[in-house]
């Protein structure tokens, strides 16, 4: 314990915020394993905690490690093992753990004014101006919340208020949260006998997601046929709804679903379809937004400006702050939905979000994501060529996925390999959270090529070990 405390003090002392390299000294020597992982202290603490704490994620159950502290791109567990962070929590701590500027901003307001309902504060004024300056196309009517799901619920209410319509169309395998309306835009409880109250509400429909690796409709050359998807959607709007669709709800990139990007021509065509039927395009950027793909909005890759956007996760780098934004011309709708909440926009939250945006600008983070993102893309393409169980690699910037299959021609998902690669790489010192047969990766956006390569090395070694165990090599 004394060793751990000293190492935290050393890391902070040795890493004053002089430059964008604030995290580099502390990352030296990572990964560093001093016990097998998870170590004895981790296992005991996990056991004690899980006597009471129920509903843990599968990742925690498969690797019961207990973390003590994080700094920059590394995490240290209670046994003193130091890991490279390849998931940013769950797409949250995107600017690194305990970024000095962000921690300082939260700390300052925690001693000055913690909550004052939704009255204006100096830091809220600055955040509003900053957000309006970075968002495209008059997306500047804003409300703040404290988790992604609540922002999504507000977006659903706002869509109804703007359009005076009540139906919603979303896509298979998107994820938007776990409360009534947000879960109604997803398929979380598939195959379960009971959905325990979280079943889909009336008026919420789902249509196929355009997954280029597993397309439902293809052209004669076998590539995904975007037009066929758009035709199906149009037909569905006309025949499968009561003609009252308020919004088309989509993640710009399927995050939880496995870092799945639609084809390049998809969103421009979807936007046109929405315009034809006066349907709002609601872009849920809770996971993909705020720089993860190299743009403030992932949707900007396709030059499309949505009507509604939600932000979360990276927005406060770990401080719970989220946002729902509509276009200026629709701002009045937020007056109709009683948009404010108890914690949304409290001074600490505004300070965290403002500091995050400033850090992204000051440290040229979008550029880093684009540059190192190219390294990721190249290296992963090579891995795909060399490994029989890698069916597909996907991603832009730092929103990445490697899809494991039993056979490249049948594309049968290789779930067991996903679990084994997850555990093996974690034991080598990689803190990450893949899902099933798709190895999801979302490293902190501050990471440079040296550590990007180190993370992929640990994953590739683990894949090779699994291939050998299963007789592929
Ligand atoms: C796209 C998307 N929307 C909404 C949510 C819900 O956010 P939260 O977990 O903060 O409620 C998530 C969470 O993973 C998400 O990925």
Looking at residue 235, what is its pLDDT?
Answer: 98
Pocket (CB within 6 angstroms of ligand 1): 147-149, 152, 175-177, 251, 255-256, 284, 286-287, 312
Question: CB–CB of 42/65 below 8 Å?
Answer: yes
Helix (H, G, I), strand (E, B) or coil at 446: coil
- State pLDDT tens for residues 76-103: 999 999 999 999 999 999 999 999 999 9
Residue 182 alpha carbon, nearest atom of ligand 1: 4
The whole-number pLDDT of residue 19 equals 86
Over the stretch 142-161, which tens digit does the pLDDT of each residue have? 999 999 999 999 999 999 99
pLDDT reported for residue 323: 98
pLDDT digits (tens, 9 = 90+) for 99-145: 999 999 999 999 999 999 999 999 999 999 999 999 999 999 999 99
Q: What is the mean pLDDT of residues 215-241?
A: 98
Question: What separation in angstroms does the CA of 191 have from each of 32, 188, 194, 195, 197?
Answer: 41, 9, 9, 9, 15
Q: Using a pLDDT cut of 90, give the percent of the chain over it.
A: 91
**Mean pLDDT of all residues belonging to the chain:** 95
Banded model confidence at residue 326, pLDDT cuts 50, 70, 90:
very high
Q: Please report the pLDDT score of residue 116 as a whole number.
A: 96
Q: 82: helix, coil or strand?
A: strand
pLDDT higher than threshold 60 for residue 6: no
**Averaged over 9-31, what is the pLDDT?**
78
Amino acid 112: pLDDT: 98
- Alpha-helical (H) ranges within 185-264 are 226-239
Predicted pLDDT at 4: 57
Task: For ligand 1, pick from 89, 145, 181, 287 the residue to mutate: most ligand atoms within 8 Å of CB.
Answer: 287
Residues in CB range of 43: below 8 A, 6 or more apart: 64
Tell which atom from ligand 1 comes closest to the C-alpha of 177: 6
Residue 434: per-residue pLDDT? 86
pLDDT top residue among 55 and 198: 55
**Which of 144, 177, 255, 288 is the pocket-test mutation for ligand 1 (most atoms within 8 Å of CB)?**
177
Q: Would you state the structure tokens that stand for residue 336, as one six-digit string?
A: 């109709």
Give yes or no for a contact between 148 and 322, defined as CB atoms under 8 angstroms apart. yes
* pLDDT for position 195: 60
Q: What is the mean pLDDT of residues 300-320?
A: 98
Q: Phi and psi at residue 159, in whole multiples of 5°?
A: -60, -40
**Region 180-208 average pLDDT:** 80
* Runs of H (alpha helix) within 81-146: 88-91, 100-110, 122-134
Residue with the bigger pLDDT between 197 and 260: it is: 260
Residue nearest to atom 4 of ligand 1 (CA): 176
Give me the pLDDT at residue 197, please. Answer: 55
Mutate to test the pocket of ligand 1, among 144, 145, 148 (most ligand atoms within 8 A of CB): 148
> Residue 345 pLDDT more than 60?
yes
Q: Which atom of ligand 1 is nearest to the CA of 310?
A: 3
Q: Residue 41 pLDDT > 70, yes or no? A: yes
Residue 3 clears pLDDT 60, i.e. is over it: no
In this predicted structure, what is the pLDDT of residue 187?
77
- In the numeric block, which tokens belong to residue 244? 């009252």
Residue 205 near residue 241, CB atoms below 8 Å: yes
- Supply the pLDDT for residue 11: 55
Q: How far apart (Å, rounded) are the C-alpha atoms in residues 140 and 129?
A: 9
Burial class (CB in 10 A: 0-12, 13-18, 19+), 111: exposed
Question: For 48, what's the count of Cα atoms within 13 Å in the CB-facing half-sphere?
Answer: 7
């509509």: which residue's tokens?
326
Distances (CA, A) of 264 to 38, 252, 301, 303, 312: 42, 11, 9, 10, 25
Q: What is the Cα–Cα distance from 104 to 12, expressed in whole angstroms? A: 13
pLDDT at 199: 72
**Which atom of ligand 1 lies closest to the CA of 284?**
1
Nearest to 182 by CA among 191, 164, 166, 170: 170
Given a cut of 70, whether residue 203 has pLDDT beyond it is: yes
- CA dist list (Å): 433 to 256, 293, 318, 401, 415: 10, 18, 16, 11, 14
Radius of gyration of the chain from Cα atoms? 22
CA 83 – CA 89 distance, rounded (Å): 12
Q: Output the pLDDT for position 188.
A: 73
Of residues 421 and 190, which shows the higher confidence score? 421
**Ligand 1 binding pocket mutation candidate from 57, 88, 91, 152 (most atoms within 8 A of CB):** 152
- Residue 403, classed as helix, strand or coil, is strand
Q: In the prediction, which pLDDT does 84 show?
A: 98
How confident is the model at residue 200, as a pLDDT?
81
Ligand 1, atom 8: closest residue by C-alpha = 148
Positive or negative CA dihedral for 200, 204, 205, 206? negative
Which residue, by CA, sits nearest to atom 3 of ligand 1?
176
pLDDT beyond 60 at 8: no
- In this structure, the residue with its CA closest to atom 7 of ligand 1 is 148
């Amino acid at each position: 314990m004394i060793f751990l405390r000293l190492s935290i003090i050393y890391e902070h002392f040795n890493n004053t915020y002089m430059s964008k390299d604030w995290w580099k000294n502390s990352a030296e020597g990572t990964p560093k394993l001093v016990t097998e992982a998870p170590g004895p202290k981790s296992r005991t603490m996990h056991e004690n905690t899980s006597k009471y704490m129920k509903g843990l994620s599968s990742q925690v159950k498969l690797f019961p490690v207990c973390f003590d502290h994080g700094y920059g791109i590394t995490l240290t567990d209670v046994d003193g093992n130091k890991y490279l962070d390849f998931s940013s929590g769950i797409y949250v701590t995107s600017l690194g753990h305990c970024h000095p500027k962000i921690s300082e901003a939260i700390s300052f307001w925690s001693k000055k004014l913690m909550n004052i309902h939704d009255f204006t504060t100096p830091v809220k004024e600055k955040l509003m101006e900053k957000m309006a300056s970075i968002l495209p196309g008059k997306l500047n009517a804003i409300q703040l919340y404290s988790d992604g799901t609540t922002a999504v619920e507000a977006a659903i209410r706002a869509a109804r208020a703007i359009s005076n319509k009540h139906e919603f169309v979303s896509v298979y395998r998107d994820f938007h949260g776990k409360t009534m309306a947000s879960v109604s835009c997803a398929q979380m409880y598939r195959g379960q006998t009971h959905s325990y109250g979280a079943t889909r509400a009336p008026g919420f429909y789902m249509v196929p997601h355009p997954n280029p690796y597993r397309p439902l409709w293809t052209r004669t050359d076998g590539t995904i046929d975007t037009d066929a998807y758009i035709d199906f959607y149009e037909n569905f709007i006309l025949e499968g709804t009561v003609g009252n669709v308020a919004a088309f709800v989509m993640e710009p990139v399927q995050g939880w679903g496995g870092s799945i990007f639609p084809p390049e021509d998809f969103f421009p065509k979807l936007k046109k379809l929405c315009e034809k039927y006066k349907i709002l395009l609601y872009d849920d950027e809770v996971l993909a937004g705020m720089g993860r793909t190299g743009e403030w909005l992932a949707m900007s890759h396709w030059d499309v400006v949505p009507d509604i956007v939600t932000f979360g996760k990276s927005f406060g780098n770990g401080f719970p702050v989220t946002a729902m934004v509509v276009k200026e011309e629709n701002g009045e709708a937020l007056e109709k939905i009683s948009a404010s909440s108890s914690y949304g926009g409290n001074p600490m939250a505004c300070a965290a979000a403002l500091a995050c945006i400033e850090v992204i600008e000051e440290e040229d983070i979008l550029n880093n994501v684009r540059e190192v993102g190219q390294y990721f893309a190249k290296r992963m393409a090579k891995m795909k060529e060399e490994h029989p169980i890698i069916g597909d690699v996907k991603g832009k910037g730092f929103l990445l996925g490697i899809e494991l299959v039993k056979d490249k021609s049948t594309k049968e998902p290789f779930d067991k390999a996903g679990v084994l690669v997850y555990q093996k790489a974690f034991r080598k010192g990689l803190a990450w959270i893949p899902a099933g047969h798709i190895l999801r990766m979302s490293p902190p956006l501050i990471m440079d090529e040296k550590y990007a390569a180190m993370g992929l090395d640990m994953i590739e070694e683990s894949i090779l070990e699994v291939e050998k165990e299963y007789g592929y090599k």
